[in-house]
């Protein structure tokens, strides 16, 4: 369905999947309407939404004052990756962006990204993404590191930590980036393999310091929900897919940063999940942690010492000890377990305990 009669070329195509977001969608659309860049098409992919989300889009498109083109395509529910891929197949503009329908755009987001892309030749422009709970807005530490300085024409070889920015939606891409690239389907955390491949392939990348995206913090999202076997399986699979791309890239320093600084970022959540999970979860956690950190052990990553110890206990298949360590952390706190800058724990002095764990 096309909700504007004029059919002229646009400069920016924005792909927005929609599924069960009626609660948050009006705020998202209001932020689109407030953009000061109007030469866009919004490709709305109804991924079999069971609520009134698409009706909300239709009503908004008919009454809004902005001059963008809104197109709606419907499909049976197939997941976020498949919905984005459907949208990519309909892109008409030379520039592409993504928008999740429960998030919000700061005023001026698209104009900043488009201006940077059109002033230079980079294939990807990355803006800062802030977390947002509807009231508070904050920047995560790693996002601050990656966006503290404006960069023009860099590569992953010169700035490998950009691979930690695995999100699809705080970036602007030349459409050629997606010519032979799509998101994995039927799996969660589909952003990381696709965005890793895009960043590795990019001959040139720009980085902006300004926030261009507000990522809503939701209690029911996959990033905050309790970890189970299905979630663990998908998460580790996408890490492995991404690692394969990085290793194929063939830059040892990029691989080192990816394995020691990027891949372990969220592992503490899955280590903690092991305390209440069943034996199948534990088996998968041990197996995949060993596989991913086979060449550079988890104990050599740059996450905090208490997390490195969690990872070491997992790779040693010591579930009871991991649960004991988690209990100690919860009852005493990390600061109480630090003595002269070193982590005190019950396994001090074990002959096979790496020095760099603590």
Whether 102 contacts 143, CB under 8 Å: no
Whether 203 contacts 124, CB under 8 Å: no
- Say which residue the tokens 């369905």 belong to: 1
Whether 240 contacts 288, CB under 8 Å: yes
φ, ψ dihedrals at 202, nearest 5°? -65, 130
Whether 146 contacts 165, CB under 8 Å: yes
pLDDT in tens, 36-68: 999 999 999 999 999 999 999 999 998 866 668
pLDDT in tens, 289-346: 999 999 999 999 999 999 999 999 999 999 999 999 999 999 999 999 998 888 999 9
pLDDT of residue 352: 86
For residue 264 the two structure tokens come to 């372990």
pLDDT of residue 254: 98
In angstroms, rounded to a whole number, what is the distance separating the alpha carbons of residues 271 and 314? 8
Strand (E) or helix (H) holding 256: helix 252-257
In angstroms, rounded to a whole number, what is the distance separating the alpha carbons of residues 330 and 327? 5
Parse the chain into domains and list their residue ranges.
12-216, 264-357
* Residue ranges in the chain whose pLDDT is less than 50: 5, 222
Tell me which of 3.40.640.10, 3.90.550.10, 1.10.240.10, 3.90.1170.50 is the CATH number of domain 12-216: 3.90.550.10
In angstroms, rounded to a whole number, what is the distance separating the alpha carbons of residues 65 and 170? 25
In angstroms, rounded to a whole number, what is the distance separating the alpha carbons of residues 293 and 264? 9
Cα 156 from chain centre = 17
Q: What is the DSSP letter of 155?
A: -
């Amino acid at each position: 369905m096309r909700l504007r009669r004029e059919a002229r070329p646009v400069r920016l195509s924005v792909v927005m999947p929609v599924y069960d977001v009626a609660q948050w969608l009006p705020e998202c659309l209001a932020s689109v309407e407030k953009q000061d860049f109007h030469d866009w098409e919004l490709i709305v992919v109804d991924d079999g939404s069971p609520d009134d989300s698409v009706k909300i889009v239709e009503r908004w498109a008919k009454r809004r004052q902005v001059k963008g083109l809104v197109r709606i395509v419907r499909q049976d529910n197939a997941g976020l990756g498949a919905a984005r891929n459907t949208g990519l197949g309909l892109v008409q503009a030379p520039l592409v962006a993504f928008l999740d329908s429960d998030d919000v755009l700061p005023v001026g987001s698209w104009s900043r990204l488009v201006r940077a892309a059109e002033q230079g030749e980079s294939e990807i422009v990355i803006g800062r993404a802030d977390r947002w709970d509807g009231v508070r807005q904050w920047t995560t530490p790693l996002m601050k590191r990656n966006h503290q300085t404006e960069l023009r024409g860099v590569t992953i070889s010169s700035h490998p930590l950009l691979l930690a920015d695995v999100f699809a939606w705080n970036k602007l891409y030349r459409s050629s980036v997606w010519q032979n690239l799509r998101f994995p389907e039927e799996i969660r955390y589909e952003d990381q393999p696709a965005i890793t491949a895009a960043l590795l392939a990019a001959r040139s990348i720009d980085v902006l310091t300004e926030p261009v995206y507000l990522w809503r913090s939701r209690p029911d999202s996959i990033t905050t929900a309790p970890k189970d076997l299905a979630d663990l399986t998908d998460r580790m699979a996408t890490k492995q897919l991404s690692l394969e791309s990085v290793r194929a890239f063939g830059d040892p320093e990029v691989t080192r940063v990816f394995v020691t600084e990027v891949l372990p970022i969220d592992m503490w959540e899955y280590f903690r999940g092991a305390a209440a999970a069943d034996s199948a979860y534990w088996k998968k956690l041990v197996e995949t942690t060993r596989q991913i950190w086979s060449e550079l052990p988890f104990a050599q990553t740059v996450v905090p010492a208490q997390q490195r110890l969690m990872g070491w206990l997992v790779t040693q298949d010591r579930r009871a000890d991991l649960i004991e360590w988690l209990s100690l952390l919860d009852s005493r706190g990390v600061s109480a377990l630090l003595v002269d800058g070193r982590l005190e724990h019950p396994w001090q002095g074990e002959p096979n305990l790496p020095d760099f764990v603590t």
